[in-house]
Chains A and B, each alone.
Chain A
Amino acid sequence: MNNKIENTLFQCRAINKEFGNVRANNDISINVRSSQIHALLGENGAGKSTLVKIIYGLLQPDSGTMTFLNEEYSPKSPKDARALGVGMVFQHFSLFEPLTAFENILVGLDKELGEKELHASVIMLSESYGLEVNLSSFIGDLSAGERQRVEIIRALIQKPKLLIMDEPTSVLTPFECESLFKTLKKLASEGTSILYISHKLKEIADLCDTASVLRKGAIVGEYDPKKMTPRELGEIMVGQSLFKPKRPVAANKSNKVLSVKINEVKPDTQFGVTLKNIDLAVYQSEILGIGGVAGNGQEELMQVLTGEKKDRNVSIKYMDNDIEMLNPRERREIGLAFAPEERLGHAAVGNLNLLENSLITDPKKRFQMKMGFIDFSELSEYTNEIIEKFNVKTTGVSALASSLSGGNLQKFVVGREIGQKPSLFIVNQPTWGVDPLSAANIRQAIVDIANTGAAIILISQDLDEILEISNKVAFLTNGNLSIPTNTMDIKTDEIGAIMGGISD
């Protein structure tokens, strides 16, 4: 016992923080020991982000005390936190896109450092931790994984004793996740403690030594993730048992809803992927899962399917009509619905409130009265239904879309599209950044509309999600789509080969 106390690196006692009348942190106490990866686990809106912002000095607690290295710790700003040895890597990267990687690292430092000296330490860091980055490239041209490496280098260069990672894997490909875990384990073995925020239960079991679980702003308890199944941990986190959605009952082969044939579609930008040899069909009451590592043509395929990109060389048949030259709105009018991956600015307009965001994707003019007036009572009823059914945490229908957390906005977007009762629903990454219970709810809702006759194309990088609810699966590699196979017939060991592009 004595040993444990000596090993304590960071401690917070009875932290309270209120926003208006919402208690984001309620009497939170945690204890991070040195050289440990300590998980902070909780649903969207459980108060994890608030707590780490307090630790990093971005917010000040209403009450409570913190100690760091056995001394009182109350940072007034991130600068204080960094100076004392606390670093942080943000979920939504805090990098400047028009600046180079090097400039971004420079601007995150609190003291002037010679260019040569800095270069040398960056290269040393990237070599010893496998953080490869081209320093002279602009952040805007880098992938999510590379951006994260820039952030990690920026944090590590100040030699933190405690590194906070806020949902670091939510934007990474599985391969990038693996190399991140290696880096983190190495850091921990060398004496840096890591406060690791996530709601991905599997990775916490793999990576973390301790897990503090937060629910509704309060600590539920501290657990050893190595001694528990992810499912048990997940149930503690949501406070109820998790359910697994069942895939829709076998499809009725005769009712083809959509068939797509693509020989070749060139990308619009030099960083895009060329789509080649895509041949897919989806039937009524069927979920077609499209898997694959990010950046293999998911975005491009989504654009062709939604009509954001129209191309004469593509053939898209929807219930015997050629729709390849229809724009997104025209496609929506005939019963298609889409939920693109990027939530703010693509799936929803940040500066409009939830009511308005429901209205703009309503092709059937359900909320329109005579002479173009909006039927607000109908509209708010519809929007409230989404909020309730999908457990969207928000202050109400008049909240701006940008004020919602990522996961909550995602729930809203999927709910809004499903509420249109589409005949064909095409969704990219429906549960990205969403906690397990809400994710299960979203999947269940997708299965439900499939069971009532809708066809679904589910593009996702979450392999478990695809295998769980799809009737058929296909994989994207380098813009090629493998031939859709029945999920039942596919073997897990084959998937790796397909995704790696080794076989088709």
Chain B
Amino acid sequence: MDLSEINFAVLVASLIVASTPLVLAALGELIVEKSGVLNLGVEGMMIIGAVTGFIVGVETGSAYVGMMAAAMAGALLSLLFAFIILIMQANQVASGLALTIFGLGIAALMGHPYTGIKSPQISTISIPFISEIPVLGTMFFQHDLIVYLSLISVLVIWYFLNRMRAGLILRSVGEDHDVAHSLGYRVVTIRFLAITFGGAMAGVGGGYLSLVRVPQWTEGMTAGAGWIALALVVFSGWRPFRLLIGAYIFGGITILQLNLQAIGVNINIALLSMAPYLATILALVVISMSRFRGNRGAPGCLGRSFVKIT
């Protein structure tokens, strides 16, 4: 075993790549939950995004077109969920679980002919000048477009939720839909939009997984990433920046343990594979403990069906 075999700069760069699907999917779910909807179908929407993105990417030869298709596929599936819970007013938990199961099944069916094919390459964009900085440049400034977009999304979503009127309205709907309704806001429309956005983000997250991170299609390749994204939203206290930190811790330990396995560290593989999950939970529990009023994040109407009062 030789720890010096691990290049720290490359490690950080690859942890960012590994975490990006989580960041994307979790940010989408953050918006959905802020509007008061609990969509447990993230895993399903991610895998639909992964398979659609891969198929379209392979057929068109463009990873970007694939990524867009992934977003649309995720959004489309989430519309089904939105219809079931907002119009038919079905239970959100059950509907979300069904969405995941449905997504996994249909993705396996769609992706079958594409197993084992290589995906089109996505080019990295080196940011002029700053990517030349040793170590830091390798870590942060030699990535593909989607990574940059995911980081910008964190900023934009934070700004949207905390500084913009539309974000305030979204939060209001999630905190108390009856009050929002009595003020004249369209609860169902706003939630429809939020769910669709969440679906698109999960779709892109999935697409990134199959087109960049792995990059190929295997059945069930999301392997619980959707669930981790859901957990990140809760543990982050519905805050975008904490969510990013949580995702990077998870991604970082995943990459680290893979590296450790590769150089033959004498630790049980099962323990190593478990490490990212444990570390993420631990870190986020500590973050949420440090502030006693951290519970302010949970939207008041999360998971509750909106029935118009008369």
Are the C-beta atoms of A19 and B182 separated by less than 8 Å? no
Number of interface residues, chain B, beta carbon within 8 A? 15
With the chains together, A205 CA to B171 CA distance in Å? 42
The 8 A CB mask of A52-80 against B (1 = contact, 0 = none) is 00000111000000000000000001111
Pick the residue among B165, B176, B296 that contacts A106 (CB under 8 A): B165
Q: Does A376 contact B (CB under 8 A)?
A: no
The 8 A CB mask of B154-196 against A (1 = contact, 0 = none) is 0000000000010011011001100110111000000000000
Q: Does B310 contact A (CB under 8 A)?
A: yes
Q: Does B300 contact A (CB under 8 A)?
A: yes
Are the C-beta atoms of B179 and A98 separated by less than 8 Å? no
With both beta carbons as reference points, the residue of chain A lying nearest to B165 in the complex is identified as A112
Are the C-beta atoms of A94 and B182 separated by less than 8 Å? yes
Are the C-beta atoms of B168 and A106 separated by less than 8 Å? yes
Q: For B182, what are the chain A residues with a Cβ–Cβ distance below 8 Å?
A: 58, 78, 90, 94
Q: Does A250 contact B (CB under 8 A)?
A: no
Are the C-beta atoms of B172 and A96 separated by less than 8 Å? yes
Q: For B169, what are the chain A residues with a Cβ–Cβ distance below 8 Å?
A: 107
With both beta carbons as reference points, the residue of chain A lying nearest to B308 in the complex is identified as A58
With both beta carbons as reference points, the residue of chain B lying nearest to A75 in the complex is identified as B184
Q: Does A108 contact B (CB under 8 A)?
A: yes
Q: Does A299 contact B (CB under 8 A)?
A: no
The number of inter-chain residue pairs (CB within 8 angstroms) is 44
Q: For B179, what are the chain A residues with a Cβ–Cβ distance below 8 Å?
A: 94-96
Q: For A112, what are the chain B residues with a Cβ–Cβ distance below 8 Å?
A: 165
Are the C-beta atoms of B184 and A78 separated by less than 8 Å? yes
Q: Does A330 contact B (CB under 8 A)?
A: no
Q: For A58, what are the chain B residues with a Cβ–Cβ distance below 8 Å?
A: 182
With the chains together, A112 CA to B168 CA distance in Å? 12
Tell me the minimal C-beta distance from A171 to chain B in angstroms.
Answer: 16
Pick the residue among A57, A59, A97, A138 that contacts B184 (CB under 8 A): A57
With the chains together, A103 CA to B172 CA distance in Å? 9
Tell me the minimal C-beta distance from B220 to chain A in angstroms.
Answer: 38
With the chains together, A77 CA to B296 CA distance in Å? 30
| Given A99-B171, A99-B175; A108-B296 close (CB under 8 Å) | no
With the chains together, A243 CA to B199 CA distance in Å? 63
Are the C-beta atoms of B165 and A97 separated by less than 8 Å? no
Q: Does A149 contact B (CB under 8 A)?
A: no
Tell me the minimal C-beta distance from B185 to chain A in angstroms.
Answer: 8
Tell me the minimal C-beta distance from A144 to chain B in angstroms.
Answer: 16
Q: Does A215 contact B (CB under 8 A)?
A: no
Are the C-beta atoms of A98 and B184 separated by less than 8 Å? no
Are the C-beta atoms of A99 and B172 separated by less than 8 Å? yes
Pick the residue among B165, B172, B310 that contacts A59 (CB under 8 A): B310
Tell me the minimal C-beta distance from B236 to chain A in angstroms.
Answer: 16
Main secondary structure of the interface of B (DSSP, over half): helix
The 8 A CB mask of A111-131 against B (1 = contact, 0 = none) is 010000000000000000000
Q: Does A416 contact B (CB under 8 A)?
A: no
With the chains together, A138 CA to B300 CA distance in Å? 14
Q: For B180, what are the chain A residues with a Cβ–Cβ distance below 8 Å?
A: 96
Q: For A108, what are the chain B residues with a Cβ–Cβ distance below 8 Å?
A: 183
With the chains together, A487 CA to B176 CA distance in Å? 45
Main secondary structure of the interface of A (DSSP, over half): loop
With the chains together, A112 CA to B167 CA distance in Å? 12
Q: For B175, what are the chain A residues with a Cβ–Cβ distance below 8 Å?
A: 96-99
Q: For A95, what are the chain B residues with a Cβ–Cβ distance below 8 Å?
A: 179
Q: Does A82 contact B (CB under 8 A)?
A: yes
Pick the residue among B165, B176, B184, B310 that contacts A96 (CB under 8 A): B176
Pick the residue among A59, A97, A107, A138 that contacts B183 (CB under 8 A): A107
With both beta carbons as reference points, the residue of chain B lying nearest to A24 in the complex is identified as B310
With the chains together, A59 CA to B181 CA distance in Å? 12
Q: For B183, what are the chain A residues with a Cβ–Cβ distance below 8 Å?
A: 78, 94, 107-108
With both beta carbons as reference points, the residue of chain B lying nearest to A109 in the complex is identified as B165
With the chains together, A265 CA to B30 CA distance in Å? 42
With both beta carbons as reference points, the residue of chain B lying nearest to A108 in the complex is identified as B183
Q: For A79, what are the chain B residues with a Cβ–Cβ distance below 8 Å?
A: 184
With the chains together, A97 CA to B176 CA distance in Å? 9
Q: For B176, what are the chain A residues with a Cβ–Cβ distance below 8 Å?
A: 96-97
Q: For B171, what are the chain A residues with a Cβ–Cβ distance below 8 Å?
A: 96, 99
With the chains together, A500 CA to B301 CA distance in Å? 40
Q: For A97, what are the chain B residues with a Cβ–Cβ distance below 8 Å?
A: 175-176, 300
Q: For A90, what are the chain B residues with a Cβ–Cβ distance below 8 Å?
A: 182
With both beta carbons as reference points, the residue of chain A lying nearest to B163 in the complex is identified as A115
With both beta carbons as reference points, the residue of chain B lying nearest to A110 in the complex is identified as B184
With the chains together, A79 CA to B183 CA distance in Å? 7
Are the C-beta atoms of B310 and A19 separated by less than 8 Å? yes
Tell me the minimal C-beta distance from A52 to chain B in angstroms.
Answer: 12
With both beta carbons as reference points, the residue of chain B lying nearest to A95 in the complex is identified as B179
Are the C-beta atoms of B184 and A103 separated by less than 8 Å? no
With the chains together, A107 CA to B172 CA distance in Å? 8
With the chains together, A103 CA to B175 CA distance in Å? 13
Tell me the minimal C-beta distance from B12 to chain A in angstroms.
Answer: 36
Q: For A78, what are the chain B residues with a Cβ–Cβ distance below 8 Å?
A: 182-184
Tell me the minimal C-beta distance from B169 to chain A in angstroms.
Answer: 6
With both beta carbons as reference points, the residue of chain A lying nearest to B298 in the complex is identified as A98
Q: For A138, what are the chain B residues with a Cβ–Cβ distance below 8 Å?
A: 296
With both beta carbons as reference points, the residue of chain A lying nearest to B296 in the complex is identified as A98
Interface residues of A in 81-108 (CB under 8 A from B): 82, 90, 94-99, 103, 106-108
Tell me the minimal C-beta distance from A115 to chain B in angstroms.
Answer: 10
Interface residues of B in 127-179 (CB under 8 A from A): 165, 168-169, 171-172, 175-176, 179
With both beta carbons as reference points, the residue of chain A lying nearest to B171 in the complex is identified as A99
Tell me the minimal C-beta distance from A374 to chain B in angstroms.
Answer: 26
Q: For B172, what are the chain A residues with a Cβ–Cβ distance below 8 Å?
A: 96, 99, 107
Q: For B300, what are the chain A residues with a Cβ–Cβ distance below 8 Å?
A: 96-98
With the chains together, A78 CA to B184 CA distance in Å? 5
The 8 A CB mask of A275-303 against B (1 = contact, 0 = none) is 00000000000000000000000000000
Tell me the minimal C-beta distance from B171 to chain A in angstroms.
Answer: 7
With both beta carbons as reference points, the residue of chain B lying nearest to A79 in the complex is identified as B184
With the chains together, A58 CA to B172 CA distance in Å? 18
Tell me the minimal C-beta distance from B192 to chain A in angstroms.
Answer: 17
Interface residues of A in 233-286 (CB under 8 A from B): none
Tell me the minimal C-beta distance from B309 to chain A in angstroms.
Answer: 8
With the chains together, A94 CA to B172 CA distance in Å? 11
Tell me the minimal C-beta distance from B15 to chain A in angstroms.
Answer: 34
Tell me the minimal C-beta distance from B42 to chain A in angstroms.
Answer: 24
Top 5 A-B residue pairs of the complex, sorted by shortest distance between their CB atoms: A78-B184, A79-B184, A94-B179, A77-B184, A96-B175
Given pairs A98-B175, A106-B168, A107-B165, 17 additional interface contacts (CB within 8 A) = A57-B184, A58-B182, A77-B184, A78-B183, A78-B184, A80-B184, A94-B179, A96-B172, A96-B180, A96-B300, A97-B175, A97-B176, A99-B171, A103-B168, A107-B183, A112-B165, A138-B296
Interface residues of B (CB under 8 A from A): 165, 168-169, 171-172, 175-176, 179-180, 182-184, 296, 300, 310
Interface residues of A (CB under 8 A from B): 19, 57-59, 77-80, 82, 90, 94-99, 103, 106-108, 112, 138
List, sorted by A's number, 14 A–B pairs whose CB atoms are closer than 8 Å: A19-B310, A77-B184, A78-B182, A79-B184, A94-B179, A96-B175, A96-B180, A97-B300, A99-B175, A103-B168, A106-B168, A107-B183, A112-B165, A138-B296
